[in-house]
Amino acid sequence: AQKVTQAQTEISVVEKEDVTLDCVYETRDTTYYLFWYKQPPSGELVFLIRRNSFDEQNEISGRYSWNFQKSTSSFNFTITASQVVDSAVYFCALSDSGNTPLVFGKGTRLSVIA
């Protein structure tokens, strides 16, 4: 069965600090896709990244970077030099090769304090 675990419920950092959000997943499939979404207070989920199981290259997009490690079933997300606008709930999600729905983790609430 699929499962996504985000062990950090809430994180609070001071602006300009780096912060890493952890995501650990479980699946029996060899082909699967991992996603990160951001949900600001306005409510809309914003797609951040998709990674397939065959591509273990880390990715960087501006202040955001993602570390995918199949050996530990983790897909962690790092924000460098955090800003107040990064305050949101971040969800990690998993989709396998079948027709099963997207499985979300419970989310990590990030508060960046000025």
Partner 1 sequence: DTEVTQTPKHLVMGMTNKKSLKCEQHMGHRAMYWYKQKAKKPPELMFVYSYEKLSINESVPSRFSPECPNSSLLNLHLHALQPEDSALYLCASSQDRLAADEQFFGPGTRLTVL
Q: By CB under 8 A, name the binding residues for partner 1.
A: 31-33, 35, 37, 42-47, 50, 52, 91, 95-99, 101-102, 104-107, 109
Q: Return the number of the residue (14 or 111) whose C-beta is nearest partner 1.
A: 111
User: Residue 43 Cβ, how far from partner 1 at the closest point, in Å?
Assistant: 4
Cα–Cα distance for residue pair 13/63, rounded to 1 Å:
15
User: Residue 109 Cβ, how far from partner 1 at the closest point, in Å?
Assistant: 8
Q: Return the number of the residue (33 or 65) whose C-beta is nearest partner 1.
A: 33
64 close to 79: Cβ distance less than 8 angstroms: yes
User: Residue 107 Cβ, how far from partner 1 at the closest point, in Å?
Assistant: 6
Please provide the DSSP assignment of 52-67 as one string: ETT----EEETTEEEE
Q: Return the number of the residue (84 or 98) whose C-beta is nearest partner 1.
A: 98
Q: Return the number of the residue (44 or 85) whose C-beta is nearest partner 1.
A: 44
89 close to 36: Cβ distance less than 8 angstroms: no
User: Residue 104 Cβ, how far from partner 1 at the closest point, in Å?
Assistant: 4
Cα–Cα distance for residue pair 56/106, rounded to 1 Å:
24
Amino acid 75 reads F
First vs last Cα of the chain: how many Å apart? 41
